[in-house]
Amino acid sequence: MPDQIAFFLGSGCSRPSGQPMVGDLTRDMLTRELYLMEGLDDQSAFYYGLDGSYPRWGTVEELQAFDPKATTEQLAPWRTPAASIQAFLRYIAELPSWVQKPNYEDVCGLLSVIAGASRRRTNDPLINSFLEEHHIVARLAAIKFPSNHRYFNMDPAEQLMVIEDFVGWLVAKRIQIAPPLNGYEAFASAVKGLGKRGYKSHFVTTNYDCNIERLLTQIEVPFHDGFPSGRYLDDAGRSWRVGNHLVFFGARSSALLKLHGSINWFRAHDTLGSDAGVFAVGDPELSADDGFKASIHMPPCNFSSKHSPEMLRGSMSKAHVYAYGIYAELFSAFEIALSRVRLVVVAGFGWNDEGIAARLLRFANTEGKKLLILDGSEPAPAVVVNNWLNPHFFGDLNDGEKISIHRQHMSSMKGDELLTLISTLLD
């Protein structure tokens, strides 16, 4: 079965199923009141999804679900640096240096950059200039952490890593595990129709949710996400796949490349003390809380997650992140997929990720390749890379020979409409 088509699905494809968009997550990170509490009962500890070695996060409202009499005043001793970090992030977000309001990836990237600054690590030269100009390190040092809390004994980098982990949990809590698969009707019809015609499709997404896995399983399309197929059981009898390297493009199955990680991926460590670490992948309908608490038996090791799910949440030098670790393997596979197919169908993508946009444009400018963009938004889609302080306009994507723009969202297409459109471009 020849490789002919790759579907690239951005976050807009998940909107009809009720998944949060990046704007929703940004507002949460900058405005939600955050608290850190210790001494909670076991029920509360499970609710917050963190074990005893980590601070437990939540809001006043969430705590009151367990203790209706809890008040803001009673929580005051446990008020976290998160409140200070939020104020700090808001300060940075309001600096006049920004050409446009920072987005979700900018805010997440700030956390990583600030943690690096507090450790005096070398950052991108532009970022170093930004840090120095606005006295970021000095302001970080001035944040007042509560002296009566164990958190006070951590150095600033450790404190910020915990804050960053909170961001991961905030995102994980907002993502729906098994929502109705609305908006994928034309996509499912196209994939099934192409398979009947002898074409194998590959799938690439930046989405954290597992909508695509659930849909492909539902329409009986074999796929492989790169992780080993061997299964190991956890203490609750759930099966996991475990590994540190990704392998794609098997002879029969389609490749599924989740370029930004997934809600059901975890970095796990050996609780028996061997210092071994692996990536562990749970089933698509596994909740993040259950995945975090799982203890996976893989003799002679016993693996459990230490942090929120493995999700790339942005960087002020995001293209730099794509060159390391598991994300480098994913992007290498992305480039292999682009080399193997004749047509890429792009839906729900905002064209502001420099690393992805550059690869798709290079694909479109390769002899014999075609790019189909499904986008009904106004104005017409354009490539504008929001590279933190220096947005760069690439173009309006209007090239009738190499790039075809269908002015309709994939979710609004009916029946075989998408299949017909694809067939026309392949013929």
pLDDT at res. 426: 87
Average pLDDT value for residue range 279-306:
90
Closest alpha carbon to 202 in 313, 74, 333, 315 = 333
3-state helix, strand, coil in the chain (%, to 5): 40, 20, 40
Per residue in 180-207, pLDDT (tens digit) is 999 999 999 999 999 999 899 999 999 9
Please check the confidence at residue 377 and state whether its pLDDT lies above 70: yes
| Average pLDDT value for the chain | 78
How far from chain centre, in Å, is Cα 416?
30
What distance in Å separates the CA atoms of residue 273 and residue 269, rounded to the nearest whole number? 9
Check residues 103 and 350 and name the one with the higher pLDDT. Answer: 350
pLDDT at res. 70: 55
User: Which residues have C-beta within 8 Å of that of residue 400, sequence separation ≥ 6?
Assistant: none
Average pLDDT value for residue range 264-282:
91
Per residue in 140-168, pLDDT (tens digit) is 666 655 554 455 566 666 666 666 776 77
Tokens of 63: 């705590």
Query: Which residues in 295-315 are b (16+ Cβ under 10 Å) and which e?
Result: ebebeebbbbbbbbbbbbbbb
Per residue in 349-368, pLDDT (tens digit) is 988 787 888 899 899 989 99
Please check the confidence at residue 77 and state whether its pLDDT lies above 60: no
Residue 287 vs residues 39, 93, 293, 363: alpha-carbon distances, Å = 25, 32, 10, 36
pLDDT at res. 23: 76
Please check the confidence at residue 50 and state whether its pLDDT lies above 60: no
What distance in Å separates the CA atoms of residue 27 and residue 103, rounded to the nearest whole number? 9
| Angle ∠(292,293,297) on CA atoms, nearest 5 | 100
C-alpha dihedral (29, 30, 32, 37), degrees to nearest 10: 70
pLDDT at res. 51: 37
C-alpha dihedral (323, 324, 329, 332), degrees to nearest 10: 10
With both helix axes pointing from N to C terminus, report the angle between 81-93 and 104-118 in degrees, rounded to the nearest 10.
110
Query: Is the distance from CB of 354 to CB of 385 less than 8 angstroms?
Result: yes
Beta-ladder partners of 373: 346, 405
Check residues 395 and 189 and name the one with the higher pLDDT. Answer: 189
pLDDT-derived band at 125, boundaries 50, 70, 90: low
User: Which residues have C-beta within 8 Å of that of residue 115, sequence separation ≥ 6?
Assistant: 156, 157, 160, 161, 164
What distance in Å separates the CA atoms of residue 339 and residue 295, rounded to the nearest whole number? 39
Percent of the chain with pLDDT over 90: 37
Q: Taking the domains of the chain in order of start, what are their residue ranges? A: 1-19+178-427, 22-174
Phi-psi region of 324 (alpha: psi -120 to 50; beta: other; left: phi over 0): beta
Check residues 62 and 294 and name the one with the higher pLDDT. Answer: 294
Query: Domain 1-19+178-427 classified CATH 3.40.50.1220?
Result: yes
Which is it for the CA torsion 274, 275, 276, 278, positive or negative?
A: positive
